[in-house]
């Protein structure tokens, strides 16, 4: 999932038209956008997680592998891809849309 988030962040920066900035600034911008994307995805997952599974999910975050957490999310949120897609679309609209 991280690779696709990195690709998404690269595309956002291109759509925003950011190009002629120092490399350090660009790297910080990418890191900030990736963190925002992950935060929005996590918020979407929490909003769609069945309430009876929240405590198990929180426990898994501390004790399980990323793969196990992802499998649990896919099991409990049948439309997980749509939830992730909506979170990324929201970030795109906030970030790129503000320049339109």
The pLDDT value given to residue 67: 94
pTM: 0.83
Average pLDDT, the chain: 91
**What's the sign of the alpha-carbon dihedral 73, 79, 85, 89?**
negative
Q: Number of structural domains, the chain?
A: 1
pLDDT in tens, 42-60: 999 999 999 999 999 999 9
Close Cβ partners of 71 (under 8 Å, ≥ 6 residues apart)? none
Range of the structural domain that residue 83 is part of: 2-99
Per-residue pLDDT for 100 more than 50?
Answer: no
Counting Cα atoms < 13 Å in the Cβ hemisphere of 88 gives: 18
């Amino acid at each position: 999932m991280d690779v696709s988030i990195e690709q998404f962040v690269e595309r956002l920066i291109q759509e925003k038209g950011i190009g002629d900035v120092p490399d350090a600034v660009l790297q910080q911008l990418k890191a900030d956008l990736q963190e925002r994307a992950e935060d929005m995805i996590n918020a979407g997952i929490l909003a769609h997680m069945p309430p009876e599974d929240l405590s198990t999910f929180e426990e898994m975050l501390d004790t399980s592998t990323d793969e196990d957490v992802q499998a649990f999310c896919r099991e409990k949120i049948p439309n997980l891809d749509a939830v992730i897609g909506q979170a990324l679309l929201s970030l795109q609209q906030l970030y790129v849309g503000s320049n339109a």
